Amino acid sequence: MKKALAKNYTESMTRAFILLMILIPFLSCTPDEEEVIELRIMSYNIAAGYGDLDGIAEVIAEYQPDVVALQEVDIHWGERSHFQDQVRILEEKLEMNSFFGEIYNFESEEEDIPSRQFGLAVLSKTDIIHQENHLLSRLSTQSEKPGLQLMPGFPEITIEKEGIEIHIFNTHLDYRGDPMVRIAQVEETLEIMDSANGPMILAGDLNARPNAPELSPLFNRLEDMWAQKEPDPGYTFPSDQPDRRIDYILHSGHFRVTDAFTVQTEASDHLPVVADLVLVQTK
């Protein structure tokens, strides 16, 4: 009897051991973990500082964006901005990295007077690992009889978050009532963005309302961060009595939006817009 019990016990233990060895690989495997990358983006047309660059800096500092896309930025441009280098000042005040994409660059004939520049800037808390100022078709505001021509002023930066490269584009489309130039600019924008792989964001002043036909190709390609906020219209201009939405943050399908809002301030003639985005990566 004892021998039979011992035999059964030994056989049971053997079977249990074999079963355990089979299950160990499965027990040690856990479902794929999701790594969440959070990113706060701000787009802000600062109207060359609007006479108070400190006020602009305070607005940005209050909301602590990871990346800020700025339009209408002066570097030693003129009296309206006290001949300041606005990029350097904001970079130092906010302790962020910067890239400036000039539209206009007028060199001085005098060695001790710096170039006059106007364009767009991108500020980033993290290091900028790549930067480029792309060309778009424009009608110059500095010529008496401008003709449509390729000009700079479409800056792109690439940052890295948790090993993932993210492309961020900053734009300022033509302001004129005739959409002809914006139509060309949107087409060129999409061609440029198509060359970037992976997650991407387009922020800026598009100078057109959401239902403008010339913007539809952008909305077909990218998602509007404001889509979840309806019926809130998200008006951004003019800042004292906003009645239209012309400032946007668009993103690729890699992101989902956790929050989107405008900042109520008259530090500029535009309201800044902010998007909280999440990029989910499977380990």
The pLDDT, as a whole number, for residue 35 is 72
- Are 137 and 267 members of one domain? yes
- Are 189 and 260 members of one domain? yes
How many angstroms separate the Cα of 154 from the Cα of each of 70, 109, 148, 157, 188? 11, 27, 16, 10, 10
Q: Three-class SS of residue 2?
A: helix
**Rounded to whole angstroms, how far apart are CA atoms 44 and 57?**
11
Q: Is residue 79 very low, low, confident or very high in pLDDT (cuts 50, 70, 90)? A: very high
- Are 199 and 255 members of one domain? yes
pLDDT at 88 over 90: yes
- Are 249 and 137 members of one domain? yes
More confident position, 29 or 167: 167
- Are 1 and 101 members of one domain? no
- Are 136 and 165 members of one domain? yes
Neighbours of 165 (CB within 10 A): 15
Mean pLDDT of the chain: 90
Between helix 53-63 and helix 86-94 the angle, nearest 10°, is 40
pLDDT in tens, 194-204: 999 999 999 99
Q: Is residue 30 very low, low, confident or very high in pLDDT (cuts 50, 70, 90)? A: very low
- Are 169 and 232 members of one domain? yes
pLDDT in tens, 187-225: 999 999 999 999 999 999 999 999 999 999 999 999 999
- Are 179 and 64 members of one domain? yes
List, in order, residues 6 or more apart from 241 with CB less than 8 Å away: none
List, in order, residues 6 or more apart from 135 with CB less than 8 Å away: 150, 151, 152, 154, 188
- Are 7 and 127 members of one domain? no
- Are 220 and 189 members of one domain? yes
102: left (phi over 0), alpha (psi -120 to 50) or beta: beta
CATH number, domain of 221, equals 3.60.10.10
Per the structure, the count of domains in the chain is: 2
Task: State the residue range of the domain holding 126.
Answer: 34-282
pLDDT in tens, 109-124: 777 788 999 999 999 9
Q: Is residue 282 very low, low, confident or very high in pLDDT (cuts 50, 70, 90)? A: low
- Are 85 and 123 members of one domain? yes
**Rounded to whole angstroms, how far apart are CA atoms 137 and 156?**
16
Neighbours of 236 (CB within 10 A): 24
**Rounded to whole angstroms, how far apart are CA atoms 155 and 170?**
6
The pLDDT, as a whole number, for residue 107 is 87
Q: Is residue 251 very low, low, confident or very high in pLDDT (cuts 50, 70, 90)? A: very high
List, in order, residues 6 or more apart from 5 with CB less than 8 Å away: none
Q: Is residue 36 very low, low, confident or very high in pLDDT (cuts 50, 70, 90)? A: confident
- Are 73 and 103 members of one domain? yes
The pLDDT, as a whole number, for residue 8 is 53
Q: Is residue 21 very low, low, confident or very high in pLDDT (cuts 50, 70, 90)? A: low
